[in-house]
Amino acid sequence: MLRRCDRTLAITDQTPRSPNGLGLPLKAGPDDDRKDGGNSKTGTDTIVRPKTKPRTQKPSLYRVLLLNDDYTPMEFVILVLQDVFNKTREEATRIMFHVHEKGVGECGVYPYEVAETKVTRVMDTARRNQHPLQCVMEKQ
């Protein structure tokens, strides 16, 4: 039993070896990185802090607006709102009447790329069906 304790002491007294087996000592702390072995002549130690990661900003949001005209049928506007903006028939009808009465109505608020895609889809669908329906986006 005494022999086992002596053996353990003998092993722990040795310089620690790296796990890769190259015989390089393991670093215990920031002082091991210094060229002077941790002995500072000035009495001050410099700690290098890692740079903080920049926070990602939320993307700017854009309102997609439908503009009224005197020629596009109300039923077509309802179908476009259902197809492009995934509105229920009731929501689409409410937005359509708002556009009809006020001249402009909000279809939704989206990040730039999504808003741009929805505006393009509305305009393309209207053109294919020979309607002058206008859809625009503005920064919120």
Extents of the domains making up the chain: 70-139
CA dist., res. 115 & res. 138, Å (int): 9
The answer to whether residue 46 scores a pLDDT higher than 90 is no
Binning pLDDT at 50, 70 and 90, where does residue 47 land? Answer: confident
CB 135 within 8 A of CB 64: yes
Correct CATH for 70-139 of 3.30.1390.10, 3.90.700.10, 3.40.50.720, 3.30.70.360: 3.30.1390.10
Q: What is the pLDDT of residues 102-122, one digit of tens each?
A: 999 999 999 999 999 999 999
pTM: 0.62
CA dist., res. 87 & res. 103, Å (int): 20
CB 6 within 8 A of CB 12: no
Q: How many CB atoms lie within 10 A of CB 119?
A: 21
What rounded mean pLDDT belongs to the chain? 83
Binning pLDDT at 50, 70 and 90, where does residue 10 land? Answer: very low
Encoded amino acid at 81, one letter = L
Q: Which residue has the tokens 């708002």?
A: 98
